[in-house]
A = this chain, B = another copy of it.
Amino acid sequence: MTKIQCTPDNKQKLMAIQDSMDVLSGKWKISIISSICYYNERRFSDILNDVAGISNKMLSKELKELEMNKIVNRTVMDTQPITVQYELTDHGKTLQTIINNLSEWGQSHRNEIFGK
């Protein structure tokens, strides 16, 4: 069997991994990001519908954190009543690779656990 490649600077990498997980590991974060990504821009109430089971309180809190981390942009639209658009920042869009990898791994994991 091939020995897994583990370079000596893994401990520094570990910190970076934790930084990523701090941003992404919330219960709904990835779902919210994917919802916005899917529609390119998305309103609060629409995300509320996209993400099954989330409450407005949670969505509000998670969006705030994503905004602080510069993953999403929040834009108040001048409508009556007001609506709010969310979209991914350029930085947020760099998550695409990870999202795709997580998606692929999730499928192979499902096969591994439940048999193919």
Q: How far apart sit A13 and B34, CA to CA, in the bound complex (Å)?
A: 9
Q: What secondary structure prevails in chain A residues at the interface with B?
A: helix
- Do residues B16 and A88 form an inter-chain contact, with CB atoms below 8 A? no
Is A79 located at the chain interface by the 8 A CB criterion?
Answer: no
| Among B30, B94, B113, contact of A18 (Cβ-Cβ < 8 Å) | B30
A27, closest chain B residue (CB): B25
Residue of B nearest to A2 (CB): B93
Contacts of A14 in B (CB 8 A): 31, 34-35, 103
Select from chain B the residue with minimum beta-carbon distance to A71: B109
Asked if A104 is an interface residue, CB under 8 A from chain B, the answer is yes
**Residues on B with beta carbons closer than 8 Å to the beta carbon of A80:** none
List residues of chain B with CB within 8 A of the CB of A39.
Answer: 6
